[in-house]
Amino acid sequence: MSSFAEKMIRWQESYGRHHLPWQNIRDPYVIWVSEVMLQQTQVTTVIPYYLRFLQRFPDLNSLASASLDEVLAQWSGLGYYSRGRNLHRTAQLIVRDHQGIFPEKVEVICQLPGVGRSTAAAIAVFAYGARCAILDGNVKRILARCFGIERYPGERKIEALLWQKAQELLPEQGEKDVNGGIEAYTQALMDLGATVCTRIKPKCAICPLQSDCTAFRNDAVGRLPAPKPRKPMPERETVLLMLMAQGKILLEKRPARGIWGGLWCLPEMPVSENAIEYCARHFGMEVQPLPPRIPSFVHIFTHFRLRIHPHPLQLNLSSSATTGDHIGVERMWTTLADALTVAIPAPVAKLLNMAVASRNA
């Protein structure tokens, strides 16, 4: 037996959980119900639901013949209701396709609705003593820390590596020198992940794996397992026109929907456009560029970054400072000081303040 498995089994004997209501039972039905309930919920929350559920649906046939409403009523408050729906559907499927007998092979169990590879392995271990590896979130955390796996465990390659590791670490087949074998080992992983190698503040001082733990040795416990990498935020670009005439600037009201909905804003122009042609086309105004005094800057929204290029322009004397007649767009000419008193988005306020500062400089 590998020393990893032996340490885990011995630890479980003394410090693991032995009196959970679904332990020391070989009935695959009740083990399946408990494993599904435990998928996203902690043990203490699950226990009363599990007991009530089994009282109402003591076996697979009673669950299969119940209505979905009855099943969901028993599930009410436990959350993630697709689990309850899947249990009901699976019970009916087992009655229909497997003569009401819960399948034994792990490859068949993991095909059942709502049962992934790790849950299927746990059912096979506890119901049939099968030598299968589990790899839920707790186990991924233990293995990532213990073996110093630096990359995010959800990455396909890393997950494959963790499955391989989990398989290699199993107690050796047929070896019975430590009580319980595969069941005690699997329970040990679950218990260690839930009570010692926890996500926050793991109790390394009392951990049976401490002497072998890479993360502990390298002071890396706090950063392993690596969190899910964030996708780089997409960046968009826009030009905000600072159209000046007789000491006033042109603002326009944004449509009610979309970013900055209903706020006063500087007119926006796509970066691909020529500002002089754009102003002639959209506002009927002749303009000339002013020296660019305000640098481009980035404003961060929840889902994207907006690179804003301010473009100062002066209305030609020959052109009149109209508000234009663009259908449905409200516009006004206002002083910079007054513009800062109306409802404007933060980056426009930032830009106008920079304009005021550069004018006073």
Interacting residue ranges for ligand SF4, rule: CB under 6 A: 142, 145-146, 196-197, 202, 204, 207, 209-210, 213, 215-216, 221
Q: How far is the CB of 135 from ligand SF4 (least distance, A)?
A: 15
Q: How far is the CB of 205 from ligand SF4 (least distance, A)?
A: 8
Query: Which is nearer to ligand SF4, 109 or 213 (by Cβ)?
Result: 213
Query: Which is nearer to ligand SF4, 197 or 313 (by Cβ)?
Result: 197
Contact 326, 332 (CB under 8 A): no
Residue 73, token pair as written in the block: 């009523």
Look up 35 and say whether it is catalytic.
yes
Query: Which is nearer to ligand SF4, 86 or 195 (by Cβ)?
Result: 195
Query: What do you get for the CA distance between the two ends of the chain, in Å?
Result: 78
Cα-Cα-Cα-Cα torsion 63, 33, 152, 159, nearest 10 degrees, comes to: -80
Instruction: Report the distance separating Cα 196 and Cα 94, nearest Å.
Output: 37
Residue 231, token pair as written in the block: 């996708």
Contact 222, 298 (CB under 8 A): no
Q: How far is the CB of 215 from ligand SF4 (least distance, A)?
A: 5
Query: Which is nearer to ligand SF4, 14 or 173 (by Cβ)?
Result: 14
Widest Cα–Cα separation across the chain:
99
Q: How far is the CB of 193 from ligand SF4 (least distance, A)?
A: 9
Residue 102: CB atoms within 10 Å: 20
Query: Which is nearer to ligand SF4, 205 or 361 (by Cβ)?
Result: 205
Instruction: Report the distance separating Cα 252 and Cα 233, nearest Å.
Output: 28
Query: Which is nearer to ligand SF4, 133 or 146 (by Cβ)?
Result: 146
Task: Tell me how long the chain is.
Answer: 361
Phi-psi region of 277 (alpha: psi -120 to 50; beta: other; left: phi over 0): alpha
What b/e readout covers 6-36, taking b as 16+ CB neighbours within 10 angstroms? bbbbbbbeeebeeebebeeeebbbbbbbbbb
Cα-Cα-Cα-Cα torsion 269, 274, 276, 281, nearest 10 degrees, comes to: -70
Q: How far is the CB of 18 from ligand SF4 (least distance, A)?
A: 21
Instruction: Report the distance separating Cα 89 and Cα 120, nearest Å.
Output: 16
CB-count exposure of residue 318 (10 Å: 0-12, 13-18, 19+): exposed
- Of 13, 35, 155, 235, which one is the catalytic site residue? 35
Query: Which is nearer to ligand SF4, 201 or 303 (by Cβ)?
Result: 201
SS3 label, residue 263: coil
Q: How far is the CB of 44 from ligand SF4 (least distance, A)?
A: 21
Q: How far is the CB of 139 from ligand SF4 (least distance, A)?
A: 11
Instruction: Report the distance separating Cα 164 and Cα 158, nearest Å.
Output: 10
Look at the block and give the residue holding tokens 């930032």: 350
Return the active site residues. 35
